[in-house]
Amino acid sequence: MENNKLIKYDFLPETYCKVTASGLWLKDTLPMEEWEKIGLHLKKIGGAVQLWLGDWLNFGERAYGEKYSQALEGTHYELQSLQAFASMAKRTENTRKKLDTYPSLLAGHWDLIADRPEQEQEKWVKKTADNNWTIKELREAIRASKKVKTPDLPEIKCKHCPVHCPK
């Protein structure tokens, strides 16, 4: 694809911007409302690209026995990153299919819950979406859920006196 070839996306208003392989060119007449809408779409795309690549890689392996050679040639990602994307996509595939109504989650959110059982993944997806958690907030919530509450020590009464004794 040539760098100056226009790419059309329905969410990008052609009257205010153009997209090429090397950039997003915005006109000075772009209203702030449109600028904000474009930003929201770009955020969704940016958060999904790693999962899309993972799904693409996993499909290529299932359908053609190919996985990384084409991706290494066609993307700017290193092998280790591509392997991580494919692994994350595979481990969250069922949950993502079931809960496709939660598009606000980014690849980083999915990465944090990928090692959990499917039902637990669903719980975290719903909590994250309902609370509009950032990746950091989800990480903190998961960490807090792992903490085991230390039970209070039982009171010990001394044999020699009728009240609690610190012995």
Q: Give the pLDDT of the chain (167 residues) as one tens digit per residue.
A: 344 454 455 667 777 888 777 788 888 988 899 888 888 888 778 778 889 899 999 999 888 887 788 777 778 888 999 999 999 999 999 988 888 766 678 889 999 999 999 999 999 999 999 999 999 999 999 999 888 777 777 776 666 666 666 55
Its pTM surpasses 0.75: no
Alpha-carbon distance of 34 to 24, in angstroms, equals 14
H-assigned helices in 23-160: 32-64, 68-74, 79-98, 107-113, 118-131, 135-146
- Report the distance separating Cα 11 and Cα 33, nearest Å: 13
